[in-house]
Chain A
Amino acid sequence: DIQMTQSPSSLSASVGDRVTITCRASQGINNYLAWYQQKPGKVPKLLIYSASTLQSGVPSRFSGSGSGTDFTLTISSLQPEDVATYYCQKYNSAPFTFGPGTKVDIK
């Protein structure tokens, strides 16, 4: 099975900072990659699918890129409401594995 890794596992940044999270697949998955945001105590929310397509209603400060094995999620200007754990997920074929998550908080 394809394994998903994320880095860093956590980060602390200031409001307004540009934040980048990396997700890597152990084998190529084309662009079948999604990013989710889970705020503390809340249900996960789809942010990006097909590696770079912003889900409806998601602020434009979120963006995704990559294809094959290496992907990034970027928050162009970190806001207090972005404090959350972010997960990547592959969905090219089962199992639809999630990455271990990246916890983002405000410095």
Chain B
Amino acid sequence: EVQLLESGGGLVQPGGSLRLSCAAPGFTFSGYAMNWVRQAPGKGLEWVSGISGSGATTYYADSVKGRFTISRDNSRNTLYLQMNSLRDEDTAVYYCAKSLLRYSFDAFDIWGQGTKVTVSS
């Protein structure tokens, strides 16, 4: 069964850093683009970042550009999101999500359960 398992969330002070992980057993991880999506409390979905299957191409939302870094380790079937210079407004549940089709950025067919990040002093 295809599943995504996020970890690494928690409470961090403004200006701090956190690294999220998303383990992806059950499918040919390297063949699929992956994404991070977040949802602030009571708010809608916000796409954060995406990375191609090889890792060669990355994209970021303007709200996180220069502060967050997406990466992947295809040998470990794991996706990462390094978050630096965290702000109150980064408080959210962070989901990793898999692209539907191989070798392309596409709709997100599989989502993890999410990991909660709280930025507060």
A residues whose Cβ falls under 8 Å from a Cβ of B: 1, 34, 36, 38, 43-46, 49-50, 55, 85, 87, 89, 91, 94-101
Are A46 and B45 in contact, CB atoms less than 8 angstroms apart?
no
- Kindly identify, within residues 47 to 62 of chain B, every residue whose CB is under 8 Å from any CB belonging to chain A: 47, 50, 59, 61-62
- CB neighbours (8 Å) of B107 from chain A are 34, 46, 49-50, 89, 91
Are A96 and B45 in contact, CB atoms less than 8 angstroms apart?
no
Are A91 and B106 in contact, CB atoms less than 8 angstroms apart?
yes
Are B50 and A98 in contact, CB atoms less than 8 angstroms apart?
no
The interface size bin for chain B is 20 to 34
Among A1, A50, A91, A101, contact of B44 (Cβ-Cβ < 8 Å): A101
A-B contact pairs, 18 of them (CB 8 A): A34-B107, A38-B45, A43-B95, A44-B45, A44-B95, A46-B107, A50-B107, A89-B107, A91-B107, A95-B47, A95-B59, A96-B35, A96-B47, A96-B105, A98-B45, A98-B46, A99-B44, A101-B44
Interface string of B28-68 (1 = CB under 8 A from A): 00000001010000001111001000000001011000000
With known contacts A43-B95, A95-B59, A34–B47 Cβ distance under 8 A: no
Nearest-Cβ distance from residue A43 to partner chain B, whole angstroms = 5
Are B109 and A89 in contact, CB atoms less than 8 angstroms apart?
no
Measured in the bound complex, the distance between the Cα atoms of B36 and A96 in whole Å is: 11
Nearest-Cβ distance from residue B112 to partner chain A, whole angstroms = 7
- CB neighbours (8 Å) of B111 from chain A are 43-45
